[in-house]
Structure 1
Amino acid sequence: MYEVRQLIGGTWGADGDAGQFVVVDPADDSPVSRAPIASEAAVAAAVKAARAIAPSWAGTAAAERGALLHRAANAVEAAIDQLATVQTAEMGRPIGTARASVEAAVGTLRQYAELGPLHRGRALAGAPEAIDLMAVQPRGVVAVITPWNDPVAVSCGLLGAALVTGNVVVYKPSERTPATGWLLARVLDEHLPPGVLTLLTGDGRVGAQLAAQEVDVVAHVGSTPTGRAIAAACVRTYAKAVLENGGSDPMIVDADVDPEWAAEQAALGAFANSGQLCVSVERIYVHRAVAEPFLGALVRRAEAMRMGSGRDPATDLGPLVDRRHRQHVAAQVRAAVEDGARLRCGGTVPEGPGAFYPPTVLADCSDGMTVMREETFGPVAPVLTVASFDEALSRAARSTYGLAATVLTGSMSNAQRAWRELPVGTVKINAVFGGAPGGAAQPRRGSGQGFGYGPELLDELTVAKVVHLGAPGGPVGHW
């Protein structure tokens, strides 16, 4: 079992005054990790210690910060097997995709190591005898609160961008993956000055206490309710909130696409990581011209998936993160069937240990069903048949979320309409995943605010200061 420790003021320790908690393997219910719950006093002490070290880290040359982050990225790469193994043990992700996630994290750290020293302000056109400029400075103390579903890649994005721009970080990983966050923090801390990175562990109460502290930024990836609570806390403290919350991402399947290929894309979007991705396909609008062959192909793909422990390289679909989450997913499916949806496959909670839930396809869904309105975050593909692309576009836009959307179409005009009209941060045409590195979207409405990735994240984590340097007055009148 992993014994997690916290990192405060450059010192590793337990701080178990508020208790401890144990995380079990969602595949077999065996204990995986034990972690302390940070006390309210520890949270306050952590922020105070981070505040004390902030000026020296902000004063470190940008090139030096970038070089340290490069070394940290190399260390994370060397620890890929460890980080993938603990991630699989805590949240069930198949080991191959867990490794790929850590590899992506390494790339993100290297990206920010390069971009950080290049991040700069600009000169302004003022009086000829003066100097006017906009200087960029770190914001100070950044609280980073991360989710369990992609714990290494998401954390490395926020941590890398915050650190390379000269901020100190108080890092709170999800209570469902504390050992993953602890191991990542250990690797990074070895290549940073003491105190620059702080690690706190615990449940949502610890996250709430951290967000309520006098920090300068709260950067959060996770659920919409948590994001709303963080935004409210930031209003009270004047901290900046950078939020990527939940989503209910639509997929539109147009009449002119190959239904087999469309089903492949839909299965990838709905079932990858057991549907536990922020940008999972959560609702599908398929044109009636291809609806039946599409549904048939989607069911075949779902039924062919091998469900099992993430440690088995042959596993296609690992367990959900825990049984509590499985109850949430199963309840949405049951409610949809009660409201008239047709269960084409899956939908039954298997017996035995773990938190497994089969890939599930629902046909004849309607807009009012919870599974079509709220975030399911499980391996469920609810399908609604439409009569036209216009209808699909209209229904897809009816959501309180605004994270991402996928559109499968052979029509350039429909593709253009889709990216212009869908009220989301990211629109993917003819590919459910992928895209150029460095893309930075702004989620909308219930899905959050601010840039969470790419070069623009550096802007979120820094502040611009306008400086006017005029010549001294008096008889001299020049420098």
Structure 2
Amino acid sequence: MTTVSGTALHAGEATITILDPRDGSVAGTVCEAGPAEVEQAVAASRRAQAGWAQRDAAERGGFLHAAADALQAGAAELAALNARETGRPEDQALEGVLAGASTLRQYAELAPVHRGHSLLGGRLAADYTVAEPRGVAALLTPWNDPVAVAAGLLGAALATGNTVLHKPSERCPQLGQRLGDMLGAVLPPDVLITLTGGPAVGEALTGLPGIDVYAHVGSSATGARIARAAAERGAHVVRENGGNDPLLVDDGVDPVWAAGQAALGAFANSGQICTSVERIYVHRAVADAFCEALVAEARQRNAGALLGPLVDDRLRREVHRQVDEAIAAGAVAAEGGALPEGPGSYYPATVLLGCTESMAVMQEETFGPVAPVRVVDSFEEGLELAAAGRYGLAATVLTADMEHAQRAIAALDVGTVKVNAVFGGAPGGSAQPRRDSGHGFGYGPELLDEFVQVKVVHLGLPGGATR
């Protein structure tokens, strides 16, 4: 139940029942926010925004530090909820919660130093810019790393003086509501309001006036609908959406090492990461050894039951549909590719060989532990294929050739290019996804700029004054 100004509002009659993807048991049931509740939440957030924006940035940063403390104190509880609702192994879920607390602290420290610019004007005048909060921010966050992603958007929005309406994914609504309770308890009233529910709640948020900025992390189809609705109302949008991230394996690299990188990229979190490796192009000179090692990596994970389940059976059916269609079109499942027996929504680490660009596993986001492989005759052929498609989130190149690395960086029209590592990078990096993968900075210091609008000030002398 959503709370506004300490009063529980009447929720809609619809409910969401969550099944534990590990065994299919009922993990909980929550009420969806009804249309009236969403409307009242928007109004309450609007009323609270002016007072929140008037606080000094350092004071807002202090509240964010308190929110990080609350998150750390409740980390074990949130990790257990994450495991129960999404199936993510509890140790990995705990890492995500602690990363969220760290992110809140980063934005707490960035808040007072988020500065404008002085401009060069007349010698007796002052010209500068002021960053002002956009107003009310609606944040729609995903289930695959629910606390860390939400904390980043919440931290940036609150640090810059916006109030927040947070709609967590309907696949982890209990976690989302508990997160809102923990953080809301240390923030002023109505600065953060959590609304649980599915697509109907998201549609209600995008259909109401009074929201100034939308931030969405999720599917490209949903992101596009939000962007269209926001454009009609003049609201700003930042979104990180789907990806079909390629991995290009060049001649001259150690094929066993490259296979380890490919397996990490394709199978981590059971393939449920926005920047997972979704398609692989391997040079023919190292293809045999690479494929043999990749199959061994997948087989080891399957034999040791090292993968957690997919979030639910709906996603598992979609992953298996893409695998089945690829096999029917000529791909070979060298490992995995079959639905396991037993409870839960598990899916094996799967390696598909002989894939072609006509297959959905090479064109769409699979979001499961599937590694589709295509052998190419040259680096140039692989790069051309890797650069194609409608997504532009990230790409990885494994090469010992510096020229090839530089050419790939220039040719790949994506927000993030990784050379010789599928994951990692310096803290604070902030990328802009391209095309169907989204728009705007989704994290890092630059995310603060997405939640503000800039005012230019010219301060001159009064008429007749000479000094």
TM score, norm. by length of structure 1 = 0.95
Instruction: State the partner residue of 1:387.
Output: 377
Instruction: State the partner residue of 1:89.
Output: 84
Instruction: State the partner residue of 1:317.
Output: 307
The answer to whether 1:274 aligns with 2:279 is no
The answer to whether 1:32 aligns with 2:27 is yes
SS at match of 1:290: helix
Instruction: State the partner residue of 2:455.
Output: 465
Instruction: State the partner residue of 1:114.
Output: 109
Distance in 2 between residues matched to 1:14 and 1:176, nearest whole Å: 22
Instruction: State the partner residue of 2:100.
Output: 105
Q: Residues 369-412 of structure 1: CA distance to partner in whole angstroms, max 9, x if unpaired?
A: 11100010000000000011111100001110000001111111
Tell me which of 214, 219, 224 is aligned to 1:218. 214
The answer to whether 1:368 aligns with 2:358 is yes
Instruction: State the partner residue of 1:238.
Output: 234
The answer to whether the 8 Å contact 2:206/2:230 transfers is yes
Q: Residues 90-122 of structure 1: CA distance to partner in whole angstroms, max 9, x if unpaired?
A: 000111211111121122111111111100111
Distance in 1 between residues matched to 2:256 and 2:378, nearest whole Å: 19
Question: CA 1:12/1:431 → structure 2, altered by over 3 Å: closer, same or farther?
Answer: farther
Question: CA 1:109/1:12 → structure 2, altered by over 3 Å: closer, same or farther?
Answer: farther
Residue identity opposite 2:238 in structure 1: V
Residue identity opposite 1:32 in structure 2: A
Spell out the pairing of 1:347-358 with structure 2 (5 A cutoff). 347-358=337-348
The answer to whether 1:431 aligns with 2:421 is yes
Distance in 2 between residues matched to 1:14 and 1:100, nearest whole Å: 34
Distance in 2 between residues matched to 1:17 and 1:428, nearest whole Å: 45
The answer to whether the 8 Å contact 1:143/1:218 transfers is yes
Q: Residues 129-168 of structure 1: CA distance to partner in whole angstroms, max 9, x if unpaired?
A: 3222111111100000001111011100000000011100
Question: CA 1:41/1:16 → structure 2, altered by over 3 Å: closer, same or farther?
Answer: closer
Q: How much does 1:11 deviate?
A: 2.7
Tell me which of 10, 15, 20 is aligned to 2:5. 10
Q: How much does 1:78 deviate?
A: 1.8
Tell me which of 277, 296, 300 is aligned to 2:296. 300
Residue identity opposite 2:205 in structure 1: L
Instruction: State the partner residue of 2:72.
Output: 77
Tell me which of 311, 321, 327 is aligned to 1:337. 327
Distance in 1 between residues matched to 2:9 and 2:27, nearest whole Å: 17
The answer to whether the 8 Å contact 1:109/1:157 transfers is yes
Spell out the pairing of 1:136-285 with structure 2 (5 A cutoff). 136-214=131-209, 215-285=211-281
Q: How much does 1:14 deviate?
A: 6.1
Q: How much does 1:169 deviate?
A: 0.2
Residue identity opposite 1:87 in structure 2: N
Q: Which moved more, 1:395-404 or 1:203-212?
A: 203-212
Residue identity opposite 1:163 in structure 2: L
The answer to whether the 8 Å contact 1:404/1:427 transfers is yes
SS at match of 2:334: strand
Instruction: State the partner residue of 1:417.
Output: 407
Instruction: State the partner residue of 2:390.
Output: 400
Tell me which of 437, 442, 445 is aligned to 1:455. 445
Residue identity opposite 1:286 in structure 2: V
The answer to whether the 8 Å contact 1:33/1:178 transfers is no
Distance in 1 between residues matched to 2:335 and 2:302, nearest whole Å: 14
Distance in 2 between residues matched to 1:223 and 1:399, nearest whole Å: 16
Distance in 1 between residues matched to 2:208 and 2:125, nearest whole Å: 40
Point out where structure 1 has 5 or more consecutive residues left out of the alignment. Answer: 308-313
Q: Residues 49-100 of structure 1: CA distance to partner in whole angstroms, max 9, x if unpaired?
A: 1001100000000001111101211221122111111111100011121111
Measured on the aligned residues, the alpha-carbon RMSD in Å equals: 1.3
The answer to whether the 8 Å contact 1:94/1:315 transfers is no
Identity %: 55
Q: Residues 195-248 of structure 1: CA distance to partner in whole angstroms, max 9, x if unpaired?
A: 100100110111121122221000000000000000100111100010101000
Distance in 1 between residues matched to 2:49 and 2:167, nearest whole Å: 18
Distance in 2 between residues matched to 1:153 and 1:385, nearest whole Å: 36
SS at match of 1:441: coil
